[in-house]
Amino acid sequence: MKLSHKVSSGLAAAALGLSALSLTGCGVNQAGAAALIGDQRISESELNERVQGIMAAQGLPVQDSTAEIVTQTLDRLITSNLVDQLAAREGVIVEKGEVDAIRLQYLAQAGGQAELENLLLQQGVLPSDIDSVITLNIQVSKLGQELAPDAEPDVQGGAVFIAASELSVELATEVAPRYGTWDAENLTIGPVTNSVSEPLSVELGQE
């Protein structure tokens, strides 16, 4: 999957792509960490809170969360973190006015606030994360212009994907074994490979 499929400037791509725990065995060794990206940490409680929020917003019981929604949410958090770090390295800054302008475009394309929220919620994006989605899209667009200034948008998206993948390798990104194995080349979480893994679920009150 290319990064441009995950985070692009179009509303449809944003909706469709911004696709994304107890520790056992080897791998991530910080208690309570769902993933480590260099010296940055995505906690289990943050992941659980996101999944619970998505399930509640969709009108579903928390206990009905699936491995797919958990890993997709974690994948999204990791990818967003990598793009943030890449943007910081490249000096890419997103102004509030830019986010506001794109939000207005999204609202017009979707047909209103409720329609936009529903469209993104169907893809696991909470209404409170809309501005984060927009910011991520702008970051990717600007990074593409920095990394491949004279190229077509698709090539620019590929350049950002490669840079994020290389950064992931440099930072030794990893996820807790219960969630699977981080695939830096494809910026996705692969299947669980250890024998002590348990079915994924959201555990209330877990730290």
Residues 6+ apart with CB under 8 A from 78: 20, 35, 37, 42, 173, 175, 182, 187, 189
pTM over 0.85: no
CATH code, domain with 116: 1.10.4030
Which residue range(s) make up the domain with 169?
A: 3-17+28-190
Measure the CA–CA gap between 147 and 154, rounded to whole angstroms.
12
End-to-end CA distance of the chain: give it in Å, rounded: 31
Least confident among 7-11, 112-116, 176-180, 185-189: 7-11
Instruction: Give the number of domains in the chain.
Output: 1
Residue 198, domain member (yes or no) = no
pLDDT in tens, 146-204: 999 999 999 999 999 999 999 999 999 999 999 999 999 999 999 876 544 444 444 43
Q: Give me the phi and psi of 190, to 5 degrees please.
A: -85, 180
pLDDT band at 18 (very low <50, low <70, confident <90, very high): very low
Residue 204, domain member (yes or no) = no
Residues 6+ apart with CB under 8 A from 10: none
Residue 59, domain member (yes or no) = yes
Residue 195, domain member (yes or no) = no
Comparing CA positions, the residue from 107, 87, 44 lying closest to residue 52 is 44
3-class secondary-structure state, position 20: coil
Are residues 81 and 96 in contact, defined by beta-carbon separation less than 8 angstroms?
no
Residue 8, domain member (yes or no) = yes
Comparing CA positions, the residue from 112, 123, 111 lying closest to residue 15 is 123
Comparing CA positions, the residue from 60, 30, 206 lying closest to residue 69 is 60
Beta bridge partners of 174: 36
Measure the CA–CA gap between 101 and 75, rounded to whole angstroms.
27
Residue 87, domain member (yes or no) = yes
pLDDT band at 29 (very low <50, low <70, confident <90, very high): low
